[in-house]
Structure 1
């Protein structure tokens, strides 16, 4: 039976609850948004004790349904001030469902400098002090926890950006290889998790079984038909070959690619950082496309990116990262672009927001478009907390007051990768 796990970080207590009937057909984004709407005061501070952070897998998570294991992370956003959901792949969504969890509700707030680790398995919930994890990047955090708690667990964690509650902070999830390269990045969900004093959540489903359908044959036949429909589409083949980054060159040709802080829509270096160019060079280095970001995905639009020495750099290099950290900054050096992506992964930052903030910084004269080394240095200052790093970590809209620069119209506080 599915249950709600409510964790009170003020009193460091966890309680399993039966979901109310109104939750019956809600999952993922629908459920997280409903809980926030029902429980979070509209006027509360996004980083205060009255906000909630909701983790909710979809209705079919934990089953054999294809591509069903994504996880929704929702809260009142520190960027937009409204209800926000960020969606992520990785292994935790399926593992939560196999543990019978319909959602995890994180509420309250511990003492300001406290940092905790939460472990969830079939035996229950443990909340542990974790001062030893303070300041660690996502890769070091995941590696340490998988070593200490078993390499089959799923890890949900934040990097230094989340700990310092930067508005562009993401929530990282480990992929099937245990790498924290999948991110619920939009809306500052990492900052909300940091405000709850939570560094990481371990989801250990050892000893559990997958969800079974009541009518196994009907469910199997439906899943198979769905898979055939997906695989027959040309877009699926292209996504498997080149990932979402495959669309970058086309958008440039159409004049719709974010370039130099959206001042134009065509980038002269598009072929170097677009799907085919990246895939060919990456393959020669031992990297690959056609990877899965979560068990059971049939689209396989993810990848494993290697550097020129054949070493792993990042996984899940996507269109948004290529556009906002590449063309939007005037950068066509793919290795520097991969390094920017890796740094965002490790610090726990939304590549869209950070690309927007760095674009605003270049537009304001802080550095020159195309200067990838200066962009990397600015991103390092985000991790170190030295000026102007915190301003960059506030995201595209949040960065403008620090620069006293208003380059254009202001939206709802969340940047995007398309005009």
Structure 2
């Protein structure tokens, strides 16, 4: 049976128990929603001792379902004050699953300065050991040290110095499959800062000597259903730009449509998006020895990740993604993939969210503190965060805190979390998503850009609520089971196979209607938690400037009325 491991960071005790019966069908986002509702006081201080954080696997972990091994991290968010689930690829969930651990919980907080490493050895024994020389290291250095001590095949989940400093834009790094770079981040919501309050620098896992095998109610039916899902995913990946190029393939559509954010979401059409385009990206990979079609987790059939080399032909960063290119590139008028890659590498090492950082720098540039396009000045400010200067620490509080301090006209946040790489005036379904998300401006709550683009105008509000609702009611299940990028490869016929996999796994009836109900319960649980934490409908709004300022690219504004938005929220 799957296990739950509880680590009390004050007493240094470790307890292992069977997963609760009520949690057996839960994983990833669904498990986090229920666990946080059950055990974390909605009114607690997010950086206080009463907040608990959970690391967990998805519902298909430990099986051969492709992309089933994303790691979900959850708690009450230090950045937003809402419930939070942030997920990442890499090796973390695979190793937890092989040790038979569905969820690992960090609770309480030390009363003295007593940093630890959570170690899971080859025999699946969990212990707390002194952090020692790991403290103060960036994520890459943590991984190098862990490999030197425990061998190359370790999995590492760690915080950089930003987490030690309890920054609210701090994420949690996970080593990728293959090279082991700590480039997969559960980045959003400040959960790295929470891990810092627990004084846990890293979770270091050795390969399990004896891999746990999940219980399967109907092995033959399960094998048959999994083969169908994996076949559909592999076939879809053969033609999906997200697989063949990577997430930066999105730039080819977002740039010319005015969806790509420019100069702190000022609504302009990017004049230089070609410098950030898939064409330039692929040329750089090919000419420098980089690589696309990289899987971040074992068994991935989509392989949307990449390894990016600098002009010198040496490794610079990995998993250079669309959101980073959008927020730290076009949004800052830094139209140079190499400079964006430098920012990405810094953020991975220091351990911060590139979306939040890019939005913060955009606000800073918009107020004139540094010039548009000045990558050197941007890097200097990032180093201030690392050095802990007064303004650097303010940046660690997130975009909204910096915007308020500087008196910025445009502060692109919802529930204190920065908006991702899609201008909501020109992709209204994403505007709806940002507003209705239970977790701040989270584009993955209903990742809808590109949904039927040939027949639906993304800047027209008609049909957009339907798209946002439909995908939100799918995504909650996806975030509990497989990778969201894989959904694009699966397509609707492939998605309709997923209920059969869960049914065969547990010996139950489970249909697409049950999948929709499953997702609805996750969202309703998250909303109930936020309501208990003090959030109201007044918090489910986009910044007013998106409604007041016309996008120069398309002439559009975000024109859904408050009444229309509230009507949508009744059904999501």
Distance between the aligned counterparts of 2:100 and 2:407, measured in 1? 49
SS state of the match for residue 175, structure 1? Answer: coil
- Could you list the per-position Cα deviations for residues 187-216 of structure 1 after superposition, in whole angstroms to 9, with x for gaps in the alignment? 111011111000000122331225364544
SS state of the match for residue 16, structure 2? Answer: strand
Larger % of strand: which?
A: 1
Indicate which of 340, 346, 350 corresponds to 2:349. 346
Distance between the aligned counterparts of 2:110 and 2:374, measured in 1? 42
> Deviation at 1:102?
1.1
* Corresponding position of 2:186: 184
> Deviation at 1:56?
0.8
* Corresponding position of 2:204: 202
Check conservation: 2:100, 2:212, Cα contact below 8 A.
Answer: no
Instruction: Give the unaligned 5+ runs of structure 1.
Output: none
RMSD of equivalent CA atoms: 1.6
* Corresponding position of 1:119: 119
- Could you list the per-position Cα deviations for residues 81-130 of structure 1 after superposition, in whole angstroms to 9, with x for gaps in the alignment? 01000010001101101111110110010135331111013241121111
Check conservation: 1:36, 1:75, Cα contact below 8 A.
Answer: yes
Please show how residues 230-379 of structure 1 align to structure 2 within 5 Å.
Answer: 230-233=233-236, 237-379=240-382
Aligned length: 419
Sort the Cα spacing of 1:27 and 1:240 in 2 relative to 1 into closer, same or farther, 3 A: same
- Could you list the per-position Cα deviations for residues 259-298 of structure 1 after superposition, in whole angstroms to 9, with x for gaps in the alignment? 1100025212211112221111121100011000111111
SS state of the match for residue 368, structure 2? Answer: coil
Q: Does 1:105 align with 2:105?
A: yes
SS state of the match for residue 255, structure 2? Answer: helix
* Corresponding position of 1:220: 223
SS state of the match for residue 303, structure 1? Answer: strand
133-142 vs 262-271, which deviates more?
A: 262-271
Distance between the aligned counterparts of 2:412 and 2:346, measured in 1? 29
* Corresponding position of 2:16: 16
123-132 vs 59-68, which deviates more?
A: 123-132
Distance between the aligned counterparts of 1:208 and 1:132, measured in 2? 30
Please show how residues 124-163 of structure 1 align to structure 2 within 5 Å.
Answer: 124-163=125-164
Structure 1 runs (4+) greater than 6 angstroms displaced: none
> Deviation at 1:150?
1.9
SS state of the match for residue 35, structure 2? Answer: helix
- Could you list the per-position Cα deviations for residues 65-86 of structure 1 after superposition, in whole angstroms to 9, with x for gaps in the alignment? 1110001100100111010000
Distance between the aligned counterparts of 2:117 and 2:324, measured in 1? 29
The structure with more radius of gyration? 2
Check conservation: 1:114, 1:131, Cα contact below 8 A.
Answer: no
TM-score if structure 2 supplies the norm length? 0.71
Distance between the aligned counterparts of 1:358 and 1:112, measured in 2? 35
SS state of the match for residue 405, structure 1? Answer: coil
Distance between the aligned counterparts of 1:203 and 1:374, measured in 2? 38
Sort the Cα spacing of 1:341 and 1:123 in 2 relative to 1 into closer, same or farther, 3 A: closer
- Could you list the per-position Cα deviations for residues 39-81 of structure 1 after superposition, in whole angstroms to 9, with x for gaps in the alignment? 1111111111100111010011121111100011001001110
Distance between the aligned counterparts of 1:93 and 1:234, measured in 2? 23
Sort the Cα spacing of 1:250 and 1:265 in 2 relative to 1 into closer, same or farther, 3 A: farther
Instruction: Give the unaligned 5+ runs of structure 2.
Output: 424-572
Sort the Cα spacing of 1:41 and 1:234 in 2 relative to 1 into closer, same or farther, 3 A: closer
Distance between the aligned counterparts of 1:410 and 1:232, measured in 2? 38
* Corresponding position of 2:165: 164
Distance between the aligned counterparts of 2:99 and 2:194, measured in 1? 24
Check conservation: 2:36, 2:75, Cα contact below 8 A.
Answer: yes
> Deviation at 1:409?
6.8
> Deviation at 1:232?
2.9
SS state of the match for residue 240, structure 2? Answer: helix
Distance between the aligned counterparts of 1:272 and 1:139, measured in 2? 28
Check conservation: 1:240, 1:291, Cα contact below 8 A.
Answer: no
Distance between the aligned counterparts of 1:58 and 1:331, measured in 2? 37
> Deviation at 1:349?
0.4
Distance between the aligned counterparts of 2:412 and 2:387, measured in 1? 30
